[in-house]
Amino acid sequence: MKNKAISNGIWPVMLTPFKERDQIDWKGLEELTEWYIAQGVHGLFSACLSSEALDMNDANKLALVRRVVEIADGRVPVVGGVMGVETREKRMEMARQVVADGAAAAVLTFCDVASEETSDEAWVEEMDRHLEISGGIPMGVYECPWPYHRMMTPLLTEYVAQQPQFLFLKETSGNLSEIERKCRAGALSGLKIFSADAITIADAYKLGVSGFSGLQTNLWAALHVKAFECRKSKPELTDRLQEFFREYNWALSKSYPASAKQYLKTACGLDIGNLSFLNGAAVDESDQEWIDELAKAIRGFTTEVAETAADLVAV
């Protein structure tokens, strides 16, 4: 029962197209959601940091998750982030609504639950209070780096793994020894671990992660799908894909997520704008050259591996 709604594989951290602040481009969101699904992904993480949920009002966060669930229409499961909500009561009210609207789980961030100076023991006590008013809904946790980066320490790992409500962990350390430790705990409890680190993902698969949920899914999701699907049958291809992920990871340091939206618009033909609010990200005409070069590199690499992966989705 615990894992049925959380499939292994690739869970994009979804972007959000905007018309202006607090005005989501709903037509663009539908087109974007269909693009992810066409890439072969196994689930969708909506209202996360890449979705710019911290720059949305609470009503829009809920509306965003609800609409993604409607568009996905059961083809892939959706988890919905509950981020930047001020109080425990409001946070859990939103979490219950996210699940009522059809999400497979409501995902809390470690840093929202308690302040940075709070001890792990106090964090556990506060999470206990959250669970008391949760109504038993399926939940996930996310090592979100903003507003501060609280990680799942051994104490928190033991606690989270023991709670049957927690189905999903987005792991953001990028440290293989940490990933292995969390995977061992998850394997015993059924908690599924999804790495956010593309440059170690082939190695993380060997350690038992359930899949990938990171920024690169907003540029070349189909390549990550292939890396996941080949991890056992053609591990050499997954290793080769990891080399590509490592080589081109620089693209995520350039005005993300505005640049990712511009890439999807110009390279993939999506009718979305590049308006973004996360970290003041913006692109202009000078960025188009490197975006075009990136698109060319992705197409070239896809062709290069096509003989080994004949069923690779075109990107």
Residue with tokens 């998850």: 186
Contact yes or no for 68/78 (Cβ under 8 A):
yes
Per DSSP, what are the bridge partners of residue 215?
Answer: none
- DSSP per-residue letters across 64-90: HHHHHHHHHTTSS-EEEEE-S-SSHHH
Which residue type, as a one-letter code, is found at position 126?
Answer: E
Whole-number Å distance between alpha carbons of 16 and 211: 22
- Is 304:289 a contact under the CB 8 Å cutoff? no
* Residues in a beta bridge with 109: 142
| Catalytic residue ranges | 142, 170
Q: How far apart are CA 8 and CA 198, in angstroms?
A: 16
- In 37-153, beta strands by DSSP E: 44-46, 78-82, 105-109, 139-142
